[in-house]
Amino acid sequence: MNVLGRLQQLGRSFMLPMIALPAASIFLSLSVLPWDRIHLAQMADYLALASQAIFTFLPYIFAIGVALGMSGNAGTAGMAALVAMFIYKGITSAGNPDIEPTVMIGAIMGLVSGLSFERFKNIKLPEYIQFFGGPRFVPLFVSVFAVIFSSLMVGASDDIQSGLIRLGEIVDSAGGFGVFLYGFIHRILVVFGLHHLLNHVFWFQVGGYTAPDGTVAFGDLPRFFAGDPTAGSYMAGLYPTMMFALPAIALAIIQEAREDLKPKIRKTFLTAALASFLTGVTEPIEFAFLFVAPYLFVVHALLSGVMMWVTYELGIRHGFSFSAGAIDYVLNEHLATRGWLILPIGLVFGIIYYVLFRWAIRRFRIPTPGREEGSQLDEWAGDIPYRAPLILEAIGGKENIVQMEACITRLRLKVSNEKQLDINALRNLGAAGVIRLGGGHVQVVFGTFSELIKEEMNKVIRNGQSQVLFCSPMQGRMMPLEDVPDPIFAGKLVGQGVAFMPDKGELVSPVKGTVLMIYPTMHAIGIRTDVGLDVLLHIGIETSKLTDKGYFQAVVQEGETVMPGQLLIRFDLNRVRKASKSLATPMVITNSDMVKTWRFAPFKAVKKGQTSIMSVVLAERDGGGRSDD
């Protein structure tokens, strides 16, 4: 595995245990309510204890979370990490009672457990001790490691603790400029999904604080919730970005969209803006301009750093359990210092962002969604079960997937062959962006629906339904069959399917199959797939009368086996346009009774040979079995 790929996996693993932190924040906020007024005075103590328990056992949560993330959710790795933490606690308590497990220790145990699982899950031992082979060897190995590691930590813990505190002092000595650098680098790393690594250092390692009860908290986030008045400098400055700057960008994109596309763009980006404002999920907006204007993203990263610098210099200290959205802002305001100043600062920078992005989009003709050259986003959240097979095909099929995980906003994949990825198809299917990290490691940004998409893809893989996937037979715009200006095709009397409005005079095969027939005028061709589906491709409407050989030219013969994307017919686009009723080209399955369900990609612009534009699941045969691909 290459370095970026391993870091990507590690970053996702660090994010997994943080899912528990919002509960701690909510419990702590609820504990300050006047429960005694409804005769539940003890509830305040219970809620405070619940919050404290999560932070107390946070190292154990990180150990299990990192182990699961590094091993593909292997329970054996999680158990090994937990056993290692128990061993660490037992040995260090006996050797030096002042030593307490930290998040860093949990991360180390989780990392070792996850890597050990990947290394030893298939290990073979001599037959008489093979019981301890395979995954069962992992807890044994990690336990031995934990004993050695814990013994060393007994002697080195004081120096390490002093080092962490000293590191915090060094970082703090950089003042506002250090916070600026953090903010800038944080936004740049978001592109690669590696920002969790940076966050882990600053949020859970840098700086120490001894609470009144004697417990020591390390890192900006635990120190903030432990009551350290100096903590929160690496979190407060993120609030203006999430709550104001990104929604302002979304508003600018909406305002600069074409009038005919503005309603659709407004719906999509208002949802994205609300997600950023409330929960701090920013990728759907950031990826809308990242790939078309990377220089503008650099400006955005610089401004994010400036916002962090400003909040630091004004003495604002605020924190969060999950991300810098309005929900966390309200929940944790009672712990903040001068937190109210975030609102006017955010409003000012929101206006700056809105003016800057509207000017840049218009001045440099940036093809953001909704522009003439831009991508057209659509509302598709409810369509996930239908698009999942198409997304799977655009990735290259289940055979191309080595590993698949999902974080909050993106699918994190390792594929066998990156060349099998159809980037354009993935974008048409809802991806905001595709990032290649090398070594087969790929991230596909689908926003907050990524986890649902992964689950639906896993269902498709597990079910193994017999289905046929279609690629685009031409370059142009995909359209519903009902929009074809012909009652026979629009009424689906010939068969069910889709249609295309071509931009180029080439027709290619949408499937693997055998050419059944070519009409004498060569304006239509029939293909039978390996499972017996009969596919008719009909170029234009009322084109059967075009008998002149200058209109159409077939480059295949009847009986010939064709592959997806293989050229079938060339045609003179301009001549056919002038001589026919319409260029609309239906692609229908004439024996539609063989099909159980249909799945269609969004009706957008497509490229010739583009994968994942239509998928059908075959109906059961009379004998009860399913057809094979």
The predicted model gives 149-163 an average pLDDT of 81
Q: Tell me the mean pLDDT in the region 143-165.
A: 84
The gap between the terminal CA atoms of the chain, to the nearest Å, is 33
Q: What is the pLDDT of residue 7?
A: 67
Percent of the chain with pLDDT over 70: 94
Q: What is the pLDDT of residue 621?
A: 59
The answer, yes or no, to whether residue 3 has pLDDT greater than 80, is no
Taking residues 155-160, what's their average pLDDT? Answer: 76
Q: Is 471 a catalytic residue?
A: no
Which of 562, 550, 541 has its CA nearest to residue 609?
Answer: 562
Beta-bridged to residue 595, according to DSSP, are: 618
Please give the pLDDT value at position 625.
Answer: 40
Q: What is the pLDDT of residue 373?
A: 45
Provide mean pLDDT across the span 435-457: 83
Q: Name the CATH architecture for the domain at 468-618.
A: Distorted Sandwich (2.70)
- The H or E element containing residue 209 is strand 208-210
pLDDT class of 43 with cuts at 50, 70, 90 = very high
pLDDT band for position 55 (50/70/90)? confident
162 pLDDT band (50/70/90 cuts)?
A: confident
Q: Each residue of 365-390: pLDDT tens digit?
A: 888 887 754 444 445 555 677 778 88
Place 628 in a pLDDT band, splitting at 50, 70 and 90.
Answer: very low
Residue with the bigger pLDDT between 303 and 40: it is 303
d(Cα 482, Cα 487) in Å, to the nearest integer? 9
Predicted pLDDT of residue 99 = 79
Determine which of 66-70, 507-511, 556-560, 577-581 has the lowest per-residue pLDDT on average. 66-70
- Cβ–Cβ contacts within 10 Å for residue 557, how many? 8
Most confident of 190-204, 512-526, 538-552: 512-526
Task: Indicate the average pLDDT of the chain.
Answer: 86
pLDDT at 473 over 50: yes
**pTM (whole model) above 0.75:** no
Give 542 or 210, the one with higher predicted confidence.
542
Q: What is the pLDDT of residue 514?
A: 95
* Dihedral over Cα of 536, 537, 538, 540: its sign: positive
Averaged pLDDT for residues 115-123: 89
- Among 573, 456, 449, 469, CA closest to 523: 573
- Single out the residue of 249, 144, 161 nearest to residue 206, CA to CA: 161
Alpha carbon of 205 to those of 22, 104, 191, 455, 550: distances in Å? Answer: 19, 7, 23, 34, 73
Token output for 403? 């590993």
- Reported as a pLDDT band with limits 50, 70 and 90, residue 629 is very low
- The DSSP 8-state label assigned to residue 623 in this structure reads T
> Would you state the pLDDT for residue 478?
93
pLDDT of residue 375: 44
Instruction: Round the CA-based radius of gyration of the chain to a whole number and report it.
Output: 29
Lowest mean pLDDT among 27-31, 331-335, 354-358: 27-31
**Is a pLDDT exceeding 60 seen at residue 263?**
yes
Higher pLDDT, 83 or 464: 83
Residue 145: CB atoms within 10 Å? 18
Cβ–Cβ < 8 Å for 150, 94: no
Whether the per-residue pLDDT at 174 is higher than 90: the answer is no
- CATH match of 383-464 with 3.30.1360.60: yes
Q: What are the tens digits of pLDDT across the range 498-522? A: 999 999 999 999 999 999 999 999 9
Q: Which residue has the higher pLDDT, 264 or 520?
A: 520
Tokens 């962006």 correspond to what residue?
A: 433
Beta strands in 247-350 (DSSP E): none
Residue of 47, 249, 327, 407 marked active site: 407
- What's the rounded mean pLDDT across residues 399-412? 83
Question: Looking up tokens 């929604």, which residue turns up?
Answer: 247
pLDDT at 462 over 50: yes
Mapped onto helix, strand or coil, the DSSP state of residue 626 is strand
Which sequence spans correspond to the domains of the chain?
1-228, 232-371, 383-464, 468-618
Tell me the mean pLDDT in the region 252-257.
92
Mean pLDDT over residues 13-29, rounded?
Answer: 83
**How does residue 466 score in pLDDT terms, banded at 50, 70 and 90?**
low
Helical (H) or strand (E) element with 587: strand 585-589
Instruction: Reply yes or no on whether the pLDDT at 12 is more than 80.
Output: no
Least confident range from 157-171, 313-327, 549-563: namely 157-171
**Predicted local distance difference test score (pLDDT) of residue 4:** 61
